[in-house]
Amino acid sequence: MISGFFFSSSLKLSFKEVLWKRFLVLIIPHIAWIIILALADWAMPIVGWGRATGRPFSILGQLEAFFKPDPRTDLWFFKDLFITDLIIFASCKIFKKLPVAFIASMLFVLLFDCFGVVGKVQRFMLPIFWTGILLKTHYHVFTKHLNKLLIGFGILFAVSVYLYDFTYMIYRSDFPPIINFQQSFAEGKVIFNFTDIDKSGFRLLAGVAGSLFFFALFQRIWKKNVVTTFLSRCGQLTVAIYGLQAILLQRVMVNILDFSGINMWLYWVIITPIAAAFTFFACVLLTRLIQKNKPLSFMLFGSSLVANRPAVRNKKFSSN
């Protein structure tokens, strides 16, 4: 949703500019981290460690993870955000008006599964991305009714969490194309496929409600101080944190720490937040160290982090 919120500036660019800019920011880091993760997965059995996924390492598996959209693979968000950006940019340029572009792009991903690369992940990513775009477009309305929306989305999100079931997760239930074209061509009639559409719809409702609730909450309580200034600067490091946690959390900590016999509530309420906080601060520290090497920073974190590095430390820029 945040990606969609800041996407409007990209609409002023040409397709070539957007393609190149997003390639530098998303695809280059993705390729670099895939190489690192492949080396880590190859070396882990040597020291007696197992992969968090439990799947054995293979070169073919790493290549398949890069080209195929699947949220169960490492760092899937990089390439699928790249594809989402291009789909929405193309729809906005072709159809000009946002409502028409929204309908066209949603129909495209809901109906088609292009070569198994475009469609699968976008079917649940695009609505959230569009939520961010529409939020930015109608931001004045959102802020005008902030308190009412905060309460409304808070109640809706709380109810959604209460009713949520583990099987609703995207990792457990996919959202296939609405029309099965292969079977339709074979039988000579349109064959609809509504598998898990109830779970997908509820998952979307919970995701939109939760995203808008927290967005409204931060709008309501955010005040400029030392903590928020630090967090806003860390917000520029999301690409770095995403890549580093795949090593630190999913490969190192998961093999060092074992909480299999611990109380489940203690695990979720105490241990998980502590692990998350430790991973977050460790990733920020490692990012600062890696940023000292510009070529390495460019490869791992994308061009935007290298270009914005002076701005991150510029107090005048931060206050603006």
Per-residue pLDDT averaged across 271-281, rounded? 91
Looking at the predicted structure, is the pLDDT value of residue 54 above 60?
no
Residue 114, beta-bridge partner list: 118
The better pLDDT of the pair 300, 120 is held by 300
Q: Each residue of 185-236: pLDDT tens digit?
A: 777 788 888 888 888 889 999 999 999 999 999 888 888 888 888 888 888 8
DSSP, collapsed to helix, strand or coil, labels residue 118 as: strand
In angstroms, rounded to a whole number, what is the distance separating the alpha carbons of residues 231 and 203?
A: 28
Spell out the residues 6+ positions from residue 121 whose beta carbon is closer than 8 angstroms to its own. Answer: 69, 70, 71, 76, 80, 83
The better pLDDT of the pair 86, 189 is held by 86
Q: Each residue of 232-245: pLDDT tens digit?
A: 888 888 889 999 99
Task: For residue 150, give both structure tokens.
Answer: 């905060």
Query: Distances from the Cα of 228 to the Cαs of 84, 222, 225, 232, 316, in angstroms?
Result: 30, 8, 5, 6, 15
The pTM score is 0.82
DSSP, collapsed to helix, strand or coil, labels residue 32 as: helix
In the chain, where are the structural domains located?
1-137, 152-222, 224-320
Task: For residue 42, give both structure tokens.
Answer: 């190859």
Q: What is the pLDDT of residue 56?
A: 58
Local structure of residue 235 (DSSP, 8 states): G
Cβ(92)–Cβ(11) below 8 Å: yes
Q: What is the mean pLDDT of the chain?
A: 84
Query: Which runs of consecutive H residues, i.e. helices, occur in the chain?
Result: 2-5, 15-22, 28-43, 59-67, 76-95, 98-111, 122-137, 139-144, 146-163, 181-187, 197-221, 226-234, 238-247, 254-256, 264-266, 272-290, 294-301, 303-312, 315-319
Spell out the residues 6+ positions from residue 54 whose beta carbon is closer than 8 angstroms to its own. Answer: none
Per-residue pLDDT averaged across 101-109, rounded? 91
- Look at the block and give the residue holding tokens 């806003």: 232
Least Cα distance to 51 among 255, 189, 263 occurs for 255
Looking at the predicted structure, is the pLDDT value of residue 316 above 70?
no
Residue 167's pLDDT band (cuts 50, 70, 90): confident
Looking at the predicted structure, is the pLDDT value of residue 284 above 90?
yes
- Look at the block and give the residue holding tokens 């609809």: 192
Terminal Cα distance for the chain, rounded:
23
In angstroms, rounded to a whole number, what is the distance separating the alpha carbons of residues 119 and 106?
A: 10
Per-residue pLDDT averaged across 7-25, rounded? 89
